[in-house]
Structures are given as structure tokens and as C-alpha cells.
Amino acid sequence: MKDWERFLEPYKQAVEELKVKLRGMRSQYEQNSDHSPIEFVTGRVKPIASILDKANQKGITLDKLETEMQDIAGLRMMCQFVDDIKPIVELLRRRNDFEIVEERDYISHKKASGYRSYHVVIKYPVQTIHGEKIILAEIQIRTLAMNFWATIEHSLNYKYKGQFPEDIRLRLQRAAEAAFRLDEEMSKIRGEIQEAQAFFSRKKEQQKEK
Ligand code: 0O2
């Protein structure tokens, strides 16, 4: 039997550390009063049941989890516009606290399900009392619209175990197209949106000063 608590400990630590670091990127943009390409950041350690399911589906034996399952530690960075994604990836590439080992661009090449997102797999060094432990973590970068679709599809997937009834499958496909068009429309009025957001954040600051 695997000692899960011990196995997952460095992953938990990595997720906590990376949440702070990636959220720090957002705060730095805010302090410089620039538009932040990062809207919010979340992170989670994959639940044991999901690790076992995925290992089973992909034929990964438990002794190979560390090297073959890339998303036991998972981070998500959400942004407002599709054009924010590339600059975020660029920032990740320039960091020297982890090494990027793989990038998967499901935005230029969406998945058959309709899923869109940019995945960056990193090797992250965790400092433990037994020394350094390097683990794999996956950072998913997506717009709010992509995230909305993926979150809904993920819950339905869980319910139907991947076997969607035809009408649901079609609706999900249409919803994916609608999310894609929403991103496109928002990109077209990006300038206007950002001007309005800058105006409201200045107003909030002024109110705080009073
Ligand atoms: P969870 O619960 O989010 O952890 P594969 O299963 O072969 O497609 P692989 O090789 O692990 O995936 O790599 P991939 O596709 O780059 O990353 C898998 C993760 O991306 C998934 O993790 C999801 O988080 C997300 N993802 C990929 N495809 C889809 C999709 O069609 N719909 C949704 N909603 N999310 C997707 P898990 O382990 O599936 O789930």
C-alpha cells in the first residue's frame, strides 16, 4: 500500500509555494498600475481517487506516478483576453525558480472535446527536511471563458464518466464555440474595456484616499 500522505506532501508544498509566486506576478502588475494579464490564480493537489483513475486509464503503475503523471500538482492562471496568454507564458519561461519541460498549446489546437487552454509542465524543486525533491507540476493558462466551459464540462464529464448523451455532447460543442466567439468579441473591444477598468480602479483609489 502506498503511503499517500508522505507521497503527496511535496506536491502540497509545491502548490502552496507556486500559488504565492504566481499571485505575486499579479500583485506586481497592480503595483505598477499596468493592466494585469493575470485575473486570478488557483491551485490544487489532485485527489487520490482521481490519481488512481487516471493511472488506471493511462496504464501508469504506482511506482511511475512521479515521472509519468504531470499534473498531481496543478495550478491555473486565468486571464481576461486570449492575447494575455502568450505574455504569461513568456514570463514563466523567463523565471529561474523552475524549469519548463513541456508546453501543450490547446488554443491553436483545441481538443476534440472543444477544450482550449495552454499547458506548461514544469520541474519544480521543493526544499524538504530530507533535501531537495524535484517534482512535476502543470500550469494551465486560460481565459475566463475557457475556464467557464472547462469547469462545466469537467463536472458533466464526472457525472457521465465521459459517455455524454448525444444532446449534451452537441450542446457542449456549441457552448465551446460560443466561448470561443465570446473571447473573440472581447478581444475586439479590449481597448474600451481596459480604459473603463483603469477609470474604475482610479476612482476606487481616490475614494480610499478620502
Ligand atoms: P483534473 O480533474 O482537472 O485533474 P489526457 O487525459 O491524455 O487528455 P494528459 O496527457 O494528462 O491528458 O495531458 P493534458 O490533456 O495536457 O492535461 C490533462 C488536464 O487538462 C486534465 O486533467 C484537465 O484538467 C485538462 N483537460 C484536458 N482535456 C480536457 C477536456 O476535454 N475537458 C476539460 N474540462 N478539461 C480537460 P484531468 O486529470 O483530466 O482532470
For the stretch 19-76, pLDDT in tens is 999 999 999 998 887 788 999 999 999 999 999 999 999 999 999 999 999 999 999 9
Q: Ligand 1, from 44, 121, 154, 169: best to mutate by most atoms within 8 Å of Cβ?
A: 154
Q: Between β-strands 73-79 and 131-143, what pairing exists: parallel, antiparallel or unpaired?
A: parallel
Torsion-angle region of 152 (φ positive above 0: left; ψ -120 to 50: alpha; else: beta): alpha
Confidence of residue 207 (pLDDT cuts 50, 70, 90): confident
For position 40, which CATH number holds?
3.30.460.10
Cell of 17: 509555494
Say what the pLDDT of residue 58 is.
Answer: 96
139 lines ligand 1 (CB under 6 A): no
User: Rounded to the nearest whole angstrom, what is the distance from the C-alpha of residue 115 to the centroid of ligand 1?
Assistant: 9
Q: Which residue range forms the structural domain that includes residue 164?
A: 4-209
Tell me how many domains the chain contains. 1
Assess: ipTM above 0.95: no
Q: Ligand 1, from 57, 115, 140, 155: best to mutate by most atoms within 8 Å of Cβ?
A: 115
Cα separation, 125 vs 104, in Å, equals: 21
Q: Output 105-111 pairs: Cβ under 8 A, ≥24 positions apart.
A: 107/82, 107/146, 110/176
Q: By alpha-carbon position, which residue is closest to atom 36 of ligand 1?
A: 115
Closest atom of ligand 1 to 57 CA is 6
**Phi, psi torsion values for 67, nearest 5 degrees:** -100, -20
**Residue-wise pLDDT tens digits, 127-143:** 999 999 999 999 999 99
42 lines ligand 1 (CB under 6 A): no
Closest atom of ligand 1 to 149 CA is 34
* Residue 41: count of CB within 10 angstroms of its CB: 19
